[in-house]
Structure 1
Amino acid sequence: MNVRSKLKFALPSEEVTSYYFNLSPKMFDKFMELRNWIYELSESNETIGEIEECLKWGEPSFLTPKTKSGSTIRIAKVDDSEFVLYFNCKTTIAKEISIEFPELKCDGKRALYFATKTKLPKSKLIVCLKKALLYHKRNTEISRATD
């Protein structure tokens, strides 16, 4: 399959493009899968709003600057066989994930690890990504439901 066909959403800058195109093909595929899910969630939920993608600490990071609904998500290569989803360590996102999905390799503080050779658990990761992308709106959503 053509690499460009995996790019459902335009890359924002030369720096981000360079980062992705320097990954191994397997790692690139996993990063694109996660990236596509983040953008799809953004498009399907106006509370999340527009995603800003940039490099933070030299790694692809996803923010919600207009709505401020979410906490930053970062994707990083650990080594040739493993990568990680990072969440802000000052949030409860990773702890919640470790409780809700104990079968996932989560440190409970800020990181969720994956092997490049395994299939990503889409439905579980969608829940995890939503937790991060809507982190700052949770209390608002809860208070609306109880009014």
Structure 2
Amino acid sequence: MPTSAKTGARKDIRKQRGTAQRDTDRIDPAISAVLSAYAKPVKDKLLALRRLIFKTARTTEGVGALEEALKWGQPSYLTSESKSGSTIRIDGVRSVPNQYAVYFHCQTNLVETFRELYPELRYGGNRCILLDAADELPEAALRHCVALALTYHLSKRRATAK
């Protein structure tokens, strides 16, 4: 490969990485305000969860760019570009100060699937995975659950096409 082609390819890679990194660094002021309302332990966990969602989206085939928005007053992550997945929301649990949750659309089978795959996690009905700010983030399990949610519609389309 000619040197100029190599240099151009490296610039493209750096540009892609820079954009991906900025996605997680740049927080809409409205979302930042919601997260800042929580005590530090919950806020830190929600920010870690936010990073995990963006990273999972970047590394999961078919997802594309995420849209971050407030839905029902909660930071929400939508696959608006690809329409590949179901919305994911994150928030603290208001009735339990040191808990936070990852919410999924209750009319999907996502939480039911997660229960089968990860019985060690705690769940809130068919709506969410409950987490405690004092505990380590179960990253591997959450990455898998988030990837399943972000490809929910894509998986259904593939199953229907067969």
TM-score range, shorter-chain basis? Answer: 0.7 to 0.9
Deviation track 1:89-123 (CA, whole Å, cap 9, x = no partner) reads 11000010111111110135111101110001111
Q: Does structure 1 residue 41 correspond to structure 2 residue 56?
A: yes
Please give the alpha-carbon distance, in whole angstroms, between the structure 2 residues aligned to 1:117 and 1:63.
28
1:76 shift after superposition: 1.4
Aligned Cα root-mean-square deviation (Å): 1.9
Please give the alpha-carbon distance, in whole angstroms, between the structure 2 residues aligned to 1:132 and 1:75.
13
| Match in the other structure for 1:113 | 130
The 1:92/1:22 distance shift into structure 2, 3 A limit, reads same
| Match in the other structure for 2:86 | 71
1:8 shift after superposition: 7.4
- The structure whose Rg is larger is 2
| Alignment TM-score, normalising by the size of structure 1 | 0.85
Please give the alpha-carbon distance, in whole angstroms, between the structure 1 residues aligned to 2:118 and 2:51.
22
| Alignment TM-score, normalising by the size of structure 2 | 0.78
After superposition, residues 1-147 of structure 1 pair within 5 angstroms as 9-78=24-93, 79-141=96-158
Q: Secondary structure at the match of 1:9?
A: helix
Unaligned segments of structure 1, at least 5 residues: 1-6
Amino acid at match of 2:29: E
Q: Secondary structure at the match of 1:66?
A: coil
Please give the alpha-carbon distance, in whole angstroms, between the structure 2 residues aligned to 1:44 and 1:142.
22
Q: Secondary structure at the match of 2:38?
A: coil
The 1:56/1:96 distance shift into structure 2, 3 A limit, reads same
Please give the alpha-carbon distance, in whole angstroms, between the structure 2 residues aligned to 1:49 and 1:23.
30
Unaligned segments of structure 2, at least 5 residues: 1-21
Please give the alpha-carbon distance, in whole angstroms, between the structure 2 residues aligned to 1:115 and 1:129.
18
Q: Secondary structure at the match of 2:136?
A: coil
- Give yes or no for contact 2:57–2:147 (8 Å, CA) kept in 1: no
Amino acid at match of 2:31: V
